[in-house]
Amino acid sequence: MNAAEAKEFYLKRPEPRGPAWAAPVRQQGRARFGALGFPTTHDEDWKYTSVDPLVKLGFAPGGSADDGVDDAMAALGVDGTAANRLVFVDGRFSPGLSRLARLPGGVIVSSLAAAMEERREFVTLLWAQLAVVNAQSFVALNTALAEDGAFVYVPAGTLVDEPLHLLFLAGRRDEPTNAHTRALIALGRGSQATVIESYAGVAGEPYWTNGVTEIALDDNAVLDHYKIQMERDNAFHTATQQARLGRGAVLTSHSFALGAALARNDVNARFAGEGGDCTLNGLYVPAGRQHVDNHTRIDHDNPRCTSRELYKGILGGKSRGVFNGKIYVHEHAEKTDARQTNRNLLLSEDAWVDTKPQLEIYNNDVKCSHGSTIGQLDENALFFLRARGLDVRTAVELLTQGFANEITSRLRQQPVAALMEKVMAQKIGAMSAEEGRW
């Protein structure tokens, strides 16, 4: 299937069931995808990432059965991460696997399909308002075809102590399938919450997850957000996260890209009020022939806002990583304080990374910096550890875990930190074992 055939293949999909008021927006998404089609390497933002392997397969819509997902949940260790969770299988809400408890009054956590029917006044303020259909073809396609997703609303002045876990799973199917998932997260003035998004799948045929997350933080709201992407090795993952920060709002975003044959993450944030604070932490660990592409953009659209960004990559085998991060300082955004760093560790001579940190500044009264590094393990450090009795593989794994620890040590949620440290140890161990020189 070529790109033109694939575009028509998805355009022929019937419109998802839902309220009549949503139909015009879905039609806009369909029309925009029809105009854009799939991105190619001729597009500057996709210069280093080809979606041809995804296009060729022609994924069918996913089913709604929960077959085999218990294994994926066990592998993720979700029971220990949060008391409250919403589970979605192939893009559809699974009440039997979900559980909600201990939510403060006024907090709404539900499936997006239910919220669109019952809470239109909330949903219309967010849905396709932050991640707009003309931004990107995958966002447009998601808007046209997403059947369900998660809806989280925290009213003003409310503290949600327990994390909320949104778990998106791909079930076992006998043909390649795809799911368009959506998450809407809104925090009222002065509220605070932690939200975890996890993505995984059951072993079997290839599948494609195409996700969109829209985050709206009112003035002085605080959100600690985690995204854990642990798709299967034959899966495809495309996702866009779009956040809007009000005056004095604080967003801390942690992104872990640990799975999928091809993964693309677009993480965008815009300061819609003065004095906001945004932190983007990311860790991507491709191995074998995996390809991981991270695109980030922080728009300093108001004065006296602070952003900190640190993305780190660990690459093994013949994998490829991409980091393209932009900090955009608008002309009226004086007193901006922004720092962006990308660091990459290559464990293999065949691994490759393309890194492009960017600053675009239209105001002179700012403090901004950016930089990137690409390197291999320090031979002197390896020698030091081996001189103290460690074998070479153990030394390599210890140094690599230390490189990753700069990200994992920043996690405030201890169950998530423990899970990430465990998963990282397993993946780094497998990567060092595959590297023949060790």
Nearest residue to 178 via CA among 37, 59, 64: 59
CA distances from 63 to 60, 110, 184 (A): 9, 20, 23
CA 403/CA 389 separation, integer angstroms: 21
* Residue located via tokens 């308002």: 129
Give first-to-last CA distance, the chain, whole Å: 41
Strands (E), 189-319: 192-201, 207-217, 222-229, 236-245, 250-257, 262-271, 277-284, 291-300, 306-315
CA distances from 134 to 8, 36, 330 (A): 18, 9, 21
Dihedral sign, Cα of residue 219, residue 162, residue 148, residue 255: positive
Q: How many Cβ atoms are within 10 Å of 360's Cβ, its own excluded? A: 13
CA 72/CA 345 separation, integer angstroms: 29
CA distances from 404 to 52, 238, 356, 376 (A): 31, 23, 20, 14
The DSSP line for 173-199 is -SS-EEEEEEEEEEE-TT-EEEEEEEE
* Residue located via tokens 């991270």: 294
Q: What is the pLDDT along the chain (438 residues), one digit of tens a residue?
A: 899 999 999 999 998 989 999 999 999 999 999 999 999 999 999 999 999 999 999 898 876 666 667 766 776 666 656 779 999 999 999 998 899 988 999 999 999 999 999 999 889 988 999 998 887 999 999 999 999 999 999 999 999 999 999 999 988 777 899 999 999 999 999 999 999 999 998 878 899 999 999 999 999 999 999 999 999 999 999 999 999 999 999 999 999 999 999 999 999 999 999 999 999 999 999 999 999 999 999 999 999 999 999 999 999 999 999 999 999 999 999 999 999 999 999 999 999 999 999 999 999 999 999 999 999 998 899 888 888 888 888 899 999 999 999 999 999 888 888 888 888 888 888 887 776 555
* CA atoms lying within 13 Å on the CB side of residue 34: 12
| Total-model pTM | 0.95
